[in-house]
């Protein structure tokens, strides 16, 4: 297939500029970068159609390869409209971010920052020393009388569980 240098160069520039803008922190520029990237991708798809040809409107006597390949065009048409919907959505996002936080920049994720600052992974649930238990019925045996709670008096169990919990921690 023939390589069209102009299209190739324009595509390359669109990608380059798009990436450059996308890496910025300003949301508007990120959005513009995205639009330029999609422009570059559109050109790439267009190039797959090969050299220029007749508009794909059926005429008697024309061979199939004399038209500009219709399939990439159909793809492009949908791509263009989808890109519009995406731009509208991102605009709404930017507006919302501005309304909520007066912020039109990509900010750092505070949770990630917090994780990065945590030192060590000590977790009392996993790492604290816990004595082994010699009965399953802890919390159900009355320590004073040594008698087992009857089935009917199972009411106040939650408190005892809590106290056992506290004792273990």
Partner 1 sequence: MLSALFAVSMAAPFLFTWIGRRVFYVLAAVLGVAFGWVLVYGDPAQDRTETLEWIPQLGVELAFRMDALGYAMSLLITGVGAAVMLYCARYFPAREPAAGPFSAQLFAFAAAMLGLVLSDDVVMLFIFWELTTILSFLLIGYSAHRVFARRSAIQALIVTTLGGLAMLIGLLWIGELAGTYRISEMIDQAGALSGPAVDSAMALILVGALSKSALVPFHFWLPAAMAAPTPVSAYLHAAAMVKAGIYLVARFAEGFHDTTLWLPIVLSLGLLTMLVGAYRALRQTDIKLVLAYGTVSQLGFLVMVNGLGTQDAALAGVSMLLAHGLFKAALFMIVGIIDHKAGTRDLRVLSGIGRSQRWLVGIAVVVAASMAGLPPLFGFVAKEIVFESIYGYADVHGAAGWAVLAGVVLGSAITVAYSARFLWGAFADKRDEHGKTLPVTAFHGKPDVVFLAAPAGLAVLTVLLAIYPAPLQEIGEAFAADFAPVAEGIEPTYLALWHGWTPVLGLSVVSWVLGLAAFWLIGRTSDPQKAAPLMLDAERLYRNTIRTLDDFAGWLTAKTQRGSLAWYLFIIIAVATALPAGIIAFTEHTVPEHIILAEEPLQMVLGAVIISGGFGAIWAPKRFMAVLMVALCGWGIAGIFALQGAPDLALTLLLVESIILVVFVLALRSLPAGIWTQNPARFKLGRALLGAGFGVVMMVVAAIAMDSRVAEPVSVEYPWMAYDVGHGANIVNVTLVDIRVWDTFGEITVLAAAATGVASLIFVKRRDVVRKELHEVPTGSVGRVLSDQELSTRQMKEIRVARSFATVAREAWLVAGRTLAPEHRSIIFEVVTRLMFHAIILLSVYLLLAGHNTPGGGFAGGLLAGLAFVLRYLAGGRYELEAAIPFSAGAVMGWGLAIACFTGVLPLFLGGAAFQSFTVDFALPVFGEHHLVSSVLFDVGVYLVVIGLIVDVLRSLGSEIDVRSEQESRRSSNLGHGIHSQTSLGVAR
Q: Which residues 5-34 are close enough to bind partner 1 by CB under 8 A? A: 5-26, 28-29, 32
Query: Hunting for tokens 């999609």 — which residue is that?
Result: 38
**Integer angstrom CA distances of residue 153 from 3, 138, 142, 150, 158:** 87, 15, 12, 5, 12
Give, as ranges, the residues between 37 and 56 that touch partner 1 (CB under 8 A): 39-40, 42-44, 46-56
Give the nearest distance from C-beta 151 to partner 1 in angstroms: 4
Q: Which is nearer to partner 1, 24 or 156 (CB)?
A: 24
Of the candidates 50, 54, 74, 48, the one whose C-alpha atom is nearest the C-alpha of residue 66 is 54
Q: Which two tokens stand for residue 89?
A: 């959505």
Confirm or reject binding of residue 159 to partner 1 (CB under 8 A). no
Confirm or reject binding of residue 144 to partner 1 (CB under 8 A). no
Query: Hunting for tokens 């791509």 — which residue is that?
Result: 79
Give the nearest distance from C-beta 38 to partner 1 in angstroms: 10
Confirm or reject binding of residue 101 to partner 1 (CB under 8 A). no
Confirm or reject binding of residue 85 to partner 1 (CB under 8 A). yes
Q: Which two tokens stand for residue 25?
A: 């922190």
């Amino acid at each position: 297939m023939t390589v069209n240098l102009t299209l190739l160069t324009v595509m390359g520039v669109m990608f380059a500029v798009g990436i450059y803008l996308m890496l910025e922190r300003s949301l508007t520029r990120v959005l513009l970068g995205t639009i330029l990237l999609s422009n570059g991708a559109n050109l790439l798809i267009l190039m797959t159609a090969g050299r220029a040809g007749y508009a794909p409107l059926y005429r008697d006597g024309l061979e199939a390869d004399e038209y500009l390949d219709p399939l990439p065009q159909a793809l492009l048409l949908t791509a263009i409209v989808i890109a519009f919907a995406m731009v509208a959505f991102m605009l709404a996002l930017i507006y919302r971010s501005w309304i909520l936080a007066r912020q039109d920049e990509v900010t750092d994720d505070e949770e990630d920052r917090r994780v990065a600052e945590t030192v060590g992974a000590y977790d009392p649930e996993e790492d604290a020393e816990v004595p082994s238990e010699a009965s399953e019925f802890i919390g159900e045996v009355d320590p004073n009388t040594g008698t087992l709670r009857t089935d009917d008096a199972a009411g106040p169990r939650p408190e005892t569980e809590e106290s056992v919990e506290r004792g273990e921690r």
